[in-house]
Amino acid sequence: MRTVRQRRGRLWLVWLAVVLCLAGCAYEEDVSPTAAYDGTWYFAVNGAQCQFTDGQIYRYDKNVLDGQSLTGIYSPAGDHIDANVAYIGSLDQVRPLYIVSGEDGDFLCDKADGSGTVYFYREATAYLSALEAAEAAAAPEEGPTEEALPSQAPEEGEVLTLEPQDLEEDGEPLPPGSRVSPAADTEEPTATESGGGGMVWIPQSGSKYHSTPSCSGMKDPTQVSLSEAQSRGYTACKRCN
């Protein structure tokens, strides 16, 4: 008696397993091979919202009666879909689209590793992030300002000090590159030594007259007689006189 019951129990288990197997096969046949692609995507070109459904791609368009316009078609092709999409080259051109997972969600790319061209984003925020990155890459780089040129800016940790020869007579610092060493002053012949006959040099701005045109980093000095310089209120430079 016990043996008969055991046999009946085994038959019920076998029958149940067959039923479940048939149900699973039927479910797999009902699942669309493009189900992973169905849903809302955002066009990478302009962020337009598109709907993938039943092998067709619709773009939301407020100018048409039903609010959607057909913009492409797609079909399963193994591990990807082949799509013909308007606004991406020719509508007759077939493009493979793979689902690739990124930091901002899934996107559709023409290469399985995501290194190719991206055509659609699953999330609108992913499209905005890509747009910001593209704008940042296209922005021109700002050059150094006059206040911090490489030739004038001190290196990190360096302290700039001004020597007496770096200052004009009134205590103002000389422009960069106009420092005059004491050796240069002694080697420069004075106007008197070269036959100037009491001639001196006066700057464009300042109150001192000089015996050499390069003293104090003067730019475009004017040569006048000593008496004229004194009559105009100029006094002698203590460095070169």
pLDDT single digits (tens) 83-136: 998 877 667 789 999 999 988 899 999 999 999 999 999 999 999 988 888 888
- Give CA angle at 86 (52, 138), nearest 5°: 100
Structural domains in the chain (count): 2
Is 232 a residue whose pLDDT tops 80? yes
Both 46 and 129 in a single domain?
yes
5-27 average pLDDT score: 63
Q: Residue 40 — very low, low, confident or very high, per pLDDT cuts 50/70/90?
A: very high
Range of 131's domain? 39-136
Q: In whole angstroms, give the CA distance from residue 146 to residue 125.
A: 40
Nearest to 105 by CA among 130, 140, 88, 80: 130
For the ranges 14-18, 61-65, 68-72, 159-163, which has the lowest average pLDDT?
159-163
DSSP 173: B
Mean pLDDT, the chain, integer: 76
Both 73 and 120 in a single domain?
yes
> Tokens in use for 90?
């020719």
pLDDT of residue 185: 46
pLDDT of residue 93: 87
Q: In whole angstroms, give the CA distance from residue 190 to residue 240.
A: 9
Both 131 and 174 in a single domain?
no
Both 45 and 131 in a single domain?
yes
Both 127 and 211 in a single domain?
no
* pTM of the complete model: 0.46
DSSP 229: H
Q: In whole angstroms, give the CA distance from residue 176 to residue 190.
A: 25
pLDDT of residue 153: 53
pLDDT of residue 189: 46
Q: In whole angstroms, give the CA distance from residue 140 to residue 177.
A: 30
Is 199 a residue whose pLDDT tops 80? yes
User: Per-residue pLDDT tens for 41-80?
Assistant: 999 888 889 999 999 999 887 776 667 888 899 999 989 9
With respect to residue 26, please indicate whether it lies within any of the assigned structural domains: no
What is the residue-wise DSSP string for 34-45? TTTT-EEEEETT
Kindly list the distances between the CA atom of residue 183 and the CA atoms of 16, 72, 131, 186, in Å, as whole numbers in the listed order: 109, 82, 61, 5
With respect to residue 49, please indicate whether it lies within any of the assigned structural domains: yes
With respect to residue 7, please indicate whether it lies within any of the assigned structural domains: no
User: Per-residue pLDDT tens for 214-230?
Assistant: 888 888 899 999 999 89
Nearest to 191 by CA among 161, 215, 216: 215
**Whose structure tokens read 């050499």?**
212
With respect to residue 58, please indicate whether it lies within any of the assigned structural domains: yes
CB atoms within 10 A of CB 205: 9
| 124 Ramachandran zone, left/alpha/beta (phi>0; psi -120 to 50) | alpha
For the chain, what is the largest distance between any 2 Cα atoms, rounded to a whole number of angstroms?
Answer: 146
Q: Within a 13 Å sphere around the CA of 161, how many CA atoms are in the beta-carbon half?
A: 2
Both 64 and 128 in a single domain?
yes
Q: In whole angstroms, give the CA distance from residue 21 to residue 23.
A: 5
DSSP 24: H
Both 129 and 205 in a single domain?
no
Q: Residue 140 — very low, low, confident or very high, per pLDDT cuts 50/70/90?
A: confident
> Tokens in use for 186?
């002694």
